[in-house]
Structure 1
Amino acid sequence: MEFKNLYIFLKVVEQGNISKAAKELNYVQSNVTARIKKLEEELHTPLFHRHNRGIVLTPEGKKLLVYAEKIVSMVTDMKRAFRSPDIPVGKLDIGSVETVIKLPLILSKYNKKYGHIDLSLTTGVTEQLIDDVLNYRLDGAFVTAGSLSNHPDLVQYDVFEEELVLVSDADAGTIDELKMKPFLVFHSGCGYRAKLMEWLRDEQVASSKLMELGTLETILGSVYSGLGVTFVPRSTVEHHESRGLIQCHKVPEQYSRIKTVFIRKKDAFLTTSLEKFIDTINEIRQKEDYAFPLF
């Protein structure tokens, strides 16, 4: 089985269309089609369902996708390993939950020192980011700590721990009244949402409505307007609170403490670029001027 065929297979999956994949790869379409057919012959199974709008993976295609991602990632790591061991080169794909308040500082320091690295950032909820790291789609990610981040196939590094607060508009009522308002949350898989649900369950609050919104900016804008309340780290809303736009309300400590960690895949080659990124996190965390509080 040719490695190039697996790479082409991944491009077709990514584009959802053979002609688009061919254009991305600068190949003629017939070449891509032939490569996919060769894979299907070698594996004795169809890998895609064809339809008018494109293609979708068959169950066997989904199975191959897991192996192909691992193989392509390992070959990429192998190539990186034989480059200069001291100078980070290549591409670094990092993921993060939206509310890592020190992330701009980390990225800025790293980029200034290693500006030739092709650094990309993907945002998402914790569960999705963990899945992306486990399946080699990301080199590492900032996520909220929990049972998933302690996965045996992951290495994690403490970044900081902070306080989650209930956030309402400036004219809010009591905590009991706020519990009855709609809760504006990130999508399922968010660590903050999980903590919120734990608190509401233990408080036996069953009637609160959840409204999923995609970004922190949208959530806070909706809180300002009185649409509902949210549950996010205090560090992300302190400047809004100081301007009198919102109110922050404490909740019991067992629900309000949450840790952010940086994770990477344990069996993936630790590239120089990723190693230097982790060093940058530690340098910033340890500096007195920018110390991240660890409780």
Structure 2
Amino acid sequence: MELRQLEVFQAVVRHGTVTEAAVALDLAPSSVSARIRSLERSLGVPLFDRTARGMRLTPSGERMLTWSGRLLSAADEARREVVGTATALRLGALETIVATHVPHVLARLAGRSTEITPDRVEVRSSGVRDELLADVTGGSLDAALLLDTGDALGDLGFGRPEAPLTFLDVEPVPLTLVAAPGNALAGRPNLTRADLAGQSLLVNVEKCSFRLAADRFLGPEPARVRAGGVPVLRAWAEQGLGIALLPGFAVADAVRQGALVALDLPVPDISLRLVWRSDRESLPGLRELLYACAATPVG
């Protein structure tokens, strides 16, 4: 096995198709396919089922995903040690929370440790939760901050990761159902899910945390209207195009200024969740990062 083959393998797993992996790696699709076939020949087993919808891991491929992450991570650590480069901690975060929550984590980390300083934390943001989970599983990220709920990883509604991961709920993230002041539900007390019938619920893509929360907590009554990310959802709601379920921190100013109103329908909190691989807890500084995240209430 060659490291480059493993990198290509992980890219195909992450992106789901040879074409998208080739774009991400700046390679020709034929080169990506050739390296996957070469890796499969060296192992003597198929790693993917080729389907009309893309590349799906075989049982052997699922086992290879864990090993490829370990091997690439070990190679990276060896390279850094040989050349004398200080190891950076790699923290991933959803784009929704990277601006609001990660700075507090880095500040807490700076106050806890003189060895693991914020300049030694490499932060990567992504709008795709599955990508963050795949990178933590594969070892290209040491930990990731995402949004979830329940007792198991993925209870909010997204797919469970293929390899077991450890997680810690850092803090609750309150959700607020908002609408323009002129909405028919504005000011009505004690709303129920049934009252949402006939409303347009502004949503993002199906894998968005807040869409999953809406599906879980609001039910099917309001018609879904695809809009965009949090800024777009907030702006469309302000213009009276529908109601939106958004994190409280994203709409607090608009509610305070009267551009939006919070509807009187209680919605459970979701959690800011830190995810990592338990077999990597011995990495230098990772425990400090975990402690910093755990002790960083943002409110």
- The normalised TM-score by structure 2 is 0.68
> 1:229, 1:192 → 2: CA distance?
13
Question: Does the aligned pair in 2 maintain the 1:185–1:193 contact within 8 Å?
Answer: yes
Question: Does the aligned pair in 2 maintain the 1:185–1:212 contact within 8 Å?
Answer: yes
Identity of aligned residues (%): 17
Question: Does the aligned pair in 2 maintain the 1:8–1:35 contact within 8 Å?
Answer: yes
Corresponding residue number in structure 1 for 2:293: 281
- SS at 1:237 equivalent: helix
> 1:133, 1:18 → 2: CA distance?
20
Equivalent of 2:124, from 109, 120, 130? 120
TM alignment of 1:71-220, pairs within 5 A: 71-79=67-75, 89-90=87-88, 92-96=90-94, 98-99=96-97, 102-106=100-104, 109=107, 113-125=117-129, 129-130=132-133, 133-134=136-137, 136=139, 138-139=141-142, 140-149=144-153, 153-174=164-185, 175=188, 179-201=197-219, 206-220=220-234
1:273 CA drift (Å):
4.8
Corresponding residue number in structure 2 for 1:224: 238
1:172 CA drift (Å):
2.3
Corresponding residue number in structure 1 for 2:39: 39
**Over alpha carbons, which structure has the higher Rg?**
1
> 1:162, 1:30 → 2: CA distance?
45
- SS at 1:98 equivalent: helix
> 1:249, 1:142 → 2: CA distance?
26
- Report the AA paired with residue 94 of structure 1: G
Corresponding residue number in structure 2 for 1:288: none
TM alignment of 1:221-260, pairs within 5 A: 221-252=235-266, 255-260=267-272
- The normalised TM-score by structure 1 is 0.69
Question: Does the aligned pair in 1 maintain the 2:18–2:33 contact within 8 Å?
Answer: no
1:217 CA drift (Å):
0.7
CA distance 1:107–1:16, shift in 2 (3 Å): farther
Corresponding residue number in structure 1 for 2:6: 6
- SS at 1:219 equivalent: helix
- Report the AA paired with residue 123 of structure 2: L
- Superposed CA deviations along residues 130-168 of structure 1, whole A, max 9, x for unmatched, are 465445564323222224427792322232114322100
CA distance 1:167–1:11, shift in 2 (3 Å): closer
How many pairs does the alignment contain? 271
Question: Does the aligned pair in 1 maintain the 2:203–2:244 contact within 8 Å?
Answer: yes
Corresponding residue number in structure 2 for 1:16: 18
Unmatched runs of 5 consecutive residues or more in structure 1: 50-55, 286-290
> 1:92, 1:70 → 2: CA distance?
18
> 1:279, 1:19 → 2: CA distance?
35
Corresponding residue number in structure 1 for 2:62: 66
- Superposed CA deviations along residues 32-68 of structure 1, whole A, max 9, x for unmatched, are 887555434332659697xxxxxx64x5x65555344
Question: Does the aligned pair in 1 maintain the 2:73–2:139 contact within 8 Å?
Answer: no
- Superposed CA deviations along residues 156-207 of structure 1, whole A, max 9, x for unmatched, are 2232114322100122232566553111123334454344334434xxxx54
Corresponding residue number in structure 2 for 1:53: none
